[in-house]
Amino acid sequence: MSTIESAPAAASVPLDAAPVKSGSVRWVVCALLFFATTINYVDRQILGILAPTLQHDIGWTEVQYGSIVTAFQAAYAFGLLLVGRYFDRIGTRRGYVGAIVFWSLAAMGHALAHTPLGFGVARFFLGLGESGNFPAAIKTVAEWFPKKERAFATGLFNSGSNVGAILAPTVVPGLALAYGWRWAFIATGATGFLWLILWIWLYEPPEKHPRVTAAELAWIHSDPAESVTPVPWLRLLRVRQTWAFAIGKLLTDPIWWFYLYWVAKFLNEKHGVTLSTVGPPLIVIYLIADFGSIAGGWLSSQLCKRGWSINAARKTTMLVCALGVTPIVFASRVEGMWPAVLIISLATAAHQGWSANMFTIASDMFPRRAVGSVVGIGGMAGAVGGMFIATLTGFLLQKTGSYDVVFFLAGAAYIVALVIVQLLAPKLTPAEVDA
């Protein structure tokens, strides 16, 4: 027999009440998620920035580089298969501590690598640790925000991925040029331990947090009460909503992985951008992507506030984002670096707006007790797709030297994914996860 979460003060706060009056601790929590995601992306993107330098120093081939990227994806997929359930069981406070310690040590461990195999091992352990970030963050948002605020909160913390992608080309080239690439890995990996201090100091669940007011707790619990009985994995795999989320991630996550690991190489090979000049174009790309993440969450939440259904708001925003990606098919055909950069920037912004809403529909369709597991399943699917795109890109570049096929796949993936999401979850109705 299932138990029900109690929210005794929820009835006193109307669903359309202004959240500004209910307290702000949840936004401090959102800021912590933002900084964790920023660090997560600095640690994973540094390889893409240093790839031309490392390819020269270590001597790996395009296929070997693809295999190094695939090692990260394989571990990320395996980790996501387990970590969502892990967070659902032990909670996000302890779970986040373990994840960031693991991935920070793995990020620093890249400095010990001397061969393509060594980098593959380092990437594998980094992927295993970093798999904890998004299931923990989405679960935390589901625990701290009512549904009307979740898309915006998700867009805010997810924008940390773009800030990380901006910080990496701002900081990493200077570190590598001044102290060598090994110290660049050590310095960026160590930042995770600074975040850990803030997390342990500031974070508690909303019911236990000393700074959460009764009004804010009521607002957090203003959605209908939910059962807290754990949901078996097999039960999640039997509902269409799980497959809608997983297939959406399978088709679109790999495109973001491609941007992270190959854009710097693309600019180097096609436009002569070097380690000393790669900063400005990458900063522009991910600054615009940052805007896309926040705008995608904001648009969806605004449509909800204007009376649109959650289904219409999320999917309309996702359609806008899917169409925004399509010009990427011309990225390798335009003349000049900056036109290519602007096309890639539009695509990354659209992807991040899409991603904010993809994450949010998981919390729209599933109860809080299952969100971590569902995000883990979807993230695993996205990482498996990332393994495919990494291997395919390596072989294509070694055989043809052309990015045309990958950019075409990127342009088409989101439309196809949205059609499948619509077929499997036409109304984003809550999944029937209780037997």
- The mean pLDDT value for 66-86 works out to 84
Position 426 scores a pLDDT of 95
Position 17 scores a pLDDT of 43
Place of tokens 């998700």: 154
- The pTM of this model reads 0.75
- The mean pLDDT value for 12-29 works out to 61
CB hemisphere CA count around 349 (13 angstroms): 20
Position 435 scores a pLDDT of 60
Return the structure tokens found at 288: 């615009």
- Provide CB contacts within 8 A for 26, sequence distance 6+: 144, 145, 149, 153, 206, 216, 220
* Domain segments of the chain as ranges: 22-221+232-424
CB hemisphere CA count around 214 (13 angstroms): 4
Residue with more model confidence, 134 or 21 = 134
Sign of CA pseudo-dihedral 353, 259, 403, 345:
positive
- ∠ CA(410), CA(106), CA(252), 5° rounding? 15
Q: Alpha-carbon distance 200 to 408, whole Å?
A: 45
Indicate the pLDDT class of residue 22, thresholds 50, 70 and 90: low
User: Above pLDDT 70, what percent of the chain?
Assistant: 94
Return the structure tokens found at 174: 């200077």
For the stretch 279-337, pLDDT in tens is 899 889 988 988 898 899 889 989 988 999 999 999 999 999 999 999 999 999 999 99
Paired residues of 4 in beta bridges: 227
Q: How many CB atoms lie within 10 A of CB 304?
A: 20
Q: What is the DSSP string of 243-306?
A: HHHHHHHHHHHHHHHHHHHHHHHHHHHHH---TTTSHHHHHHHHHHHHHHHHHHHHHHHHHHHT
Candidate from 93-107, 242-256, 376-390 with smallest mean pLDDT? 376-390
18, pLDDT greater than 60: no
**Three-state SS at 4:** strand
For the stretch 241-285, pLDDT in tens is 999 999 999 999 999 989 988 898 899 889 998 888 888 998 899
Q: Are 76 and 383 in contact (CB under 8 A)?
A: yes
Cβ density class 187-206: b for 16+ within 10 Å, e for less: bbbebbeebbeebeeebeeb
Burial class (CB in 10 A: 0-12, 13-18, 19+), 289: buried
* Mean pLDDT of all residues belonging to the chain: 86
**Three-state SS at 320:** helix
Q: Alpha-carbon distance 296 to 274, whole Å?
A: 32
**Three-state SS at 427:** coil
Candidate from 78-82, 209-213, 286-290, 410-414 with smallest mean pLDDT? 78-82
Q: Alpha-carbon distance 263 to 33, whole Å?
A: 26
Position 14 scores a pLDDT of 43
**Domain 22-221+232-424, second-level architecture:** Up-down Bundle (1.20)
